[in-house]
Structure formats: structure tokens, C-alpha cells
Structure 1
């Protein structure tokens, strides 16, 4: 597996407990984001290095998550039906920055838009939704810290699915192995993540 990993206990001590943060594994080349799919979609992507095949749709919004543990919460550690194949997708760093620059919050924020109508117009124009959700512990407990997820559609999804990918890795076996360690978090290994610095979102 190409992911850089660390112990959950060690990483927990290094991360902020409150606030909105993009936590991710990244380098100069790219940023890792996670998705979970049913086998027909996940296996195709891991084999071919892009998203396609008869079951992947470019007409629906697709959500990417840079936080591994948020993806584990959402997919039930790959145990939920239709989310059995967990993918670590490395996308170009400039692509990730482009996604963030075009993101519009999924709910109205008066600090960002003068009126609700202005926000609604921005939502219609943008192909990226930004959503802050409570982050979760490995066992599913809700945290005060917020994690980001990004919904892609239209041109942004098409670029993500084909042109922006550096690599796709099926990490389902790793996820399954670590799922067995939830009863003893001292043994839990997760991808190493740190804060990704961007302008306020």
C-alpha cells in the first residue's frame, strides 16, 4: 500500500480538537481523497486508474473526503452495502486547490453571502458543494472538530474522474484489517494526516 500510515493514538495527540480543518495526506504532487463504492465501480477505477464503466455516472454528484476517519464513519469501515470498496484517490494538488476555490457551501452562511438569493445563485453556478460535518472517532463518536467533504458535479466531476487523477488504490483490505482493531485503539493504524492550509472557507 502506498499510503503513509501512523498509529491512531499518536496522530490523535497532534490534531486540533475544535474548529474547521481540512485534514489530509498530501505532498507537493497531490492530495489523497477517499471514496467508497460498490465493487463494480470501485474495482473498475482501481484497475483502470480512472472512473468509468457502465455503472459510474457523471450526471450525479460525487462526494470526495480527504479525512480517512470521516470516510470510515460514512462507509461503516467498508461494511455498508454499496460502499464495500474503499479507494484512496490521489489527485493533483492544483486540482484540489481548484476544487476548493470553486466550492460553495451547501447551506446558507450570511457571513459569506449578503442575501440568501445571492447564495442560491452561487450554488447554481458552481459545480462544487462544500459541507462541514462533525468529525468522528474510529468507533463513530461525534467530535467537536469539523471535517470537510466536497461534492463534484458537471465539468468538475468530469475533470476529477479522468484528468486530475494521479493514482487510485483499492485500500479495502487495509480498511478491513483495521476494522478488527476498533476494540483496541492502541493497535489501530490509520493514514497519516496533517492540516491542509488554505484561505478561510
Structure 2
């Protein structure tokens, strides 16, 4: 059965959802050791979280890109994640969804979160036909994420490197087995209507 074009897929429990980010070792290692983002982490700027491990690998080059050498799995509360979705707007104007560009601009200025739907990736990081959620958090949402929603922070850089090595060696089955077990994230009917392109 074909995957829906817009669907959140994530590693999640009854109370949490795991998202991924990549940072410099200075920020990433400190966050993983302390279980919270350090003071150095800027709470006043937009931060993008990704429920898709493979999309994060595409973005950070398996933890090899400069400034993204430390890959973090951040477990956050589902309440917080769903609050961000409810208060988000698309990161761009979409004809048919927004009345006009001015309306979208007003929404985007007020919204503490932004949504982008980018092509999901396969093990070779090639784009797939369905989309992966990127959730940008700013202002109130960024502060809540860092200081209230975060349940745990784990350094998964070595996992990223191990999976990448298996792929380079041609052992895709082993690589696939090592991936986080992402599955459709349950959202109520209509919860993403304002966020679909």
C-alpha cells in the first residue's frame, strides 16, 4: 500500500515522540551529557526538529557536515509536539490553503512554529514520493521545547556512523534493522489540515 503523501512518521511512545537535530560537539555533547540544552543553545532563534532519522541523516551527512557532527535524538512530550503542530503555519504561502499572501504573512508572523514537508529519504538518501515533516520552533515554542518539553537527549552519532558504514559496505538489511522504528504518528482528524500543501 502506498504511503500517504503527508503523514508524520516517528519513533514514539504513549507520552513522548523522538525528534532529531545535529549540532557542533560543543552544544551536542553538552546537551547529551546534561540531558538538557546548555545556555549556549540559543533559545531566541528558530530551531528545526525532524521526526525522521533518515531525513536528519540527509541534512547532516550522517554527522559529517561541519557544525552538525553530533547527532541528537531528543525525546519530547507528545503534548508539546502537538501544541507546536496546532500553533504552526506552513513555512511558505500555499494557494488554496491561505486566502492570499498577506494572510499567510500575518499568520507566519504570529505563529511560534513553522512546518515544511520535504521528500522523505531512503537508505541512500534519495528522495521518496512521500513527505517528511520538519517542524521549526521559534520564540515561545523554542523556549518550551528546550526547557519544558524535553524528556531526554541521547547522542546517536555512533548509530548514524554505524548505519552509514553498513550502507557503504552494501549490507542494507543490517542498516535497515538498525534504524529507529518509526511508525505513523496518531493525530486527530483535521489536525494537519492547516499544514498540508
Using structure 1 for the length normalisation, give the TM-score.
Answer: 0.88
Partner in structure 2 of residue 148 of structure 1? 133
Partner in structure 2 of residue 119 of structure 1? 104
Work out whether 1:193 is the aligned partner of 2:153. Answer: no
> For the Cα contact (< 8 Å) 1:52–1:161, is it kept in 2?
no
> For the Cα contact (< 8 Å) 1:63–1:149, is it kept in 2?
yes
Offset from partner CA, 1:52-77 (integer Å, 9 cap, x none): 233x2122211000011111111111
Provide the aligned length of Structure 1 versus Structure 2: 186
Work out whether 1:44 is the aligned partner of 2:30. Answer: yes
1:137 Cα offset (Å): 1.1
4+ runs deviating over 3 angstroms = 15-18
Of 93, 101, 110, the residue aligned with 2:95 is 110
Query: RMSD across aligned C-alpha pairs, in angstroms?
Result: 1.3
Partner in structure 1 of residue 162 of structure 2? 177
Using structure 2 for the length normalisation, give the TM-score.
Answer: 0.90
Structure 1 unaligned residues grouped into runs of 5+? 1-14
1:196 Cα offset (Å): 1.1
1:164 Cα offset (Å): 0.8
Residue 16 to residue 90, structure 1, CA distance change in 2 (3 Å): farther
1:16 Cα offset (Å): 4.2
Instruction: Give the Cα–Cα distance (whole angstroms) in 2 for the partners of residues 126 and 53 of structure 1.
Output: 24
Of 58, 64, 75, the residue aligned with 1:73 is 58
Work out whether 1:60 is the aligned partner of 2:45. Answer: yes
Structure 2 unaligned residues grouped into runs of 5+? none
> For the Cα contact (< 8 Å) 1:45–1:52, is it kept in 2?
yes
